[in-house]
Amino acid sequence: MMAAEHLVAIALRTGRAKDKIQIQQFIESGVLDAARLQDILTQHSLLEKWKKLLRQYGEESA
């Protein structure tokens, strides 16, 4: 089983419409550990993509 933060990273990398919906569901559920997610996104060079997605959804952070 994968952690929610890893699933978000995979969905973010893939970037399909259904992946963005899944990411939004994770954000809304409140299950994401922000520090862990940031570490994972940084390791996989996805932090800028994450920030762009958050701006699209009007989120400050997750």
* pLDDT 10s digits, 6-52: 999 999 999 999 999 999 999 999 999 999 999 999 999 999 999 99
pLDDT at residue 6 in the model: 97
52 contact partners, CB below 8 Å, separation of at least 6: none
Nearest to 60 by CA among 51, 45, 30, 4: 51
Q: Where are the domains of the chain?
A: 4-56
In whole angstroms, give the CA distance from residue 23 to residue 17: 10
41-47 long-range CB contacts below 8 Å, 24 or more apart? Answer: 41/9, 41/12, 44/9, 44/13, 46/9, 46/12, 46/13
Residue 1 banded pLDDT, cuts 50, 70, 90: confident
44 against 56, higher pLDDT: 44
